[in-house]
Amino acid sequence: MKAPRVTLDQWRTLQAVVDHGGFAQAAEALHRSQSSVSYTVARMQDQLGVPLLRIDGRKAVLTEAGGVLLRRSRQLVKQASQLEDLAHHMEQGWEAEVRLVVDAAYPSARIVRALTAFMPQSRGCRVRLREEVLSGVEEVLLEGVADLAITGLSIPGYLGAELSDVEFVAVAHPDHALHRLNRELSFQDLETQMQVVIRDSGRQQPRDVGWLGAEQRWTVGSLATAATFVSSGLGFAWLPRHMIERELKEGTLKLLPLDQGGSRNPSFYLYSNKDKPLGPATQILIELLRTFDTLPLDASYAAPEQA
């Protein structure tokens, strides 16, 4: 990559001339001599090969090319300043990145709200979000690939902060054979039907969660795929209610009238990597995740303005 001929200081000088209305005013604002400011801008024009300013009476006015380059330079100078700020924050222990792994069943609306509130406080810290299923969350945390983890499973040796429950409900298409029985259902009724289950993304000790007594079982890779299968009439499944509200309202899915076990409400937990000290950005994100976990999913919400 060719090294730039114009420095950030030169771009800042040009911006000062335009923003303060002239060379003398820019010199005063920058605590430099007027001749130094004039030379800097003249040198820039020679280096770039295009005129940036023209003299109109006693005032320096941007040329068309100068206007375009000035607008682009403002973003360049801003990014350089942000880079320096990030380096300063990192020196003070502020993380460059927080890695968050979340079970796919946890409401994404709560994650979005927390991350939206985190942005103006992040000081350039990035968030790397990863979605796993069941024990896949635990594996990512234990491997040290995540700083924070949200899961409905208990992780041995870790103390998690309790979050809200997620309701799973047993559903099938309204025309499914189970609904055509027109009565309360038992687990014996389910045994001859196909159950759709979601594959555990963990590799070491994958788990099956939920009733699995059906003679026929189809395993899919995501909750969204399971919802598509079941709403198309292929089998039944226990799915997070918050993910299928639209299908329930539109009538492509219907709750199974089970005499017991038609609904289950596992608690979810927020864990942190115990082998890594919590940095300030991670601690802020933890508080935001816990705060927005308590709000109703249908609550009105306005994203905070960025600083």
pLDDT tens-place string over residues 117-167: 999 988 888 999 999 999 999 999 999 999 999 999 999 889 899 999 999
How large a percentage of the chain has pLDDT more than 70?
A: 90
Residue 26 has pLDDT above 50, yes or no: yes
- With 60 as the cut, is the pLDDT of residue 223 above it? yes
> Tokens representing 102?
């979340």
The residue-averaged pLDDT of 95-124 equals: 93
- Tell me what pLDDT residue 62 has: 87
Pick 223 or 204 by higher pLDDT: 223
* Predicted pLDDT of residue 204: 78
Distances in Å between the alpha carbon of 114 and those of 224, 261, 294, 304? 23, 32, 11, 11
Return phi, psi of residue 193, to 5°.
-105, 160
Q: What end-to-end distance do the CA atoms of the chain give, in Å?
A: 34
Burial grade of 193 (CB within 10 A; 0-12, 13-18, 19 or more): middle
* pLDDT score for 208: 65
Residue 90 confidence (pLDDT) = 56
Q: Which residue has the higher pLDDT, 76 or 2?
A: 76
Give pLDDT, residue 75.
85
Non-local (6+) Cβ contacts of 130 within 8 A are 99, 100, 101, 102, 140, 145, 146
Residue range 233-252: mean pLDDT, rounded: 95
Q: How far is it between the farthest Cα atoms of the chain?
A: 93
Q: What tokens were used for 105?
A: 């069943």
Q: Which amino acid is at 120?
A: P
In this prediction, residues 246-260 reach a mean pLDDT of: 94
Tell me if the pTM is above 0.85.
Answer: no
Kindly report the CA angle at 72 between 9 and 28, in degrees rounded to 5? 35
Question: Average pLDDT over the chain, rounded to whole?
Answer: 87
3-27 as b/e, with b when 16 or more CB fall inside 10 Å? Answer: eeebeeebbbbbebbbebebbeebb
Lowest mean pLDDT among 31-40, 49-58, 273-282: 49-58
Residue 16 parent element (H or E): helix 8-20
From CA 133, how far away is CA 219, in angstroms rounded? Answer: 13
Tell me which of 71-85, 213-227, 230-244, 285-299 is least confident: 71-85
Q: Which residue has the higher pLDDT, 188 or 1?
A: 188
User: Of 215, 243, 207, whose CA–CA distance to 227 is shortest?
Assistant: 243
Is the pLDDT confidence value at 307 over 50?
no
β-strand 97-103 against 126-132: which pairing, if any?
Answer: parallel
Taking only the tens place, the pLDDT of each residue in 266-305 is 999 999 998 888 888 999 999 999 999 988 777 666 555 5
Angle between helices 280-293 and 108-118 (to 10 degrees): 140
Distance of CA 101 to CAs 67, 119, 286, Å?
Answer: 45, 18, 13
| Model confidence at 306: pLDDT above 90 | no
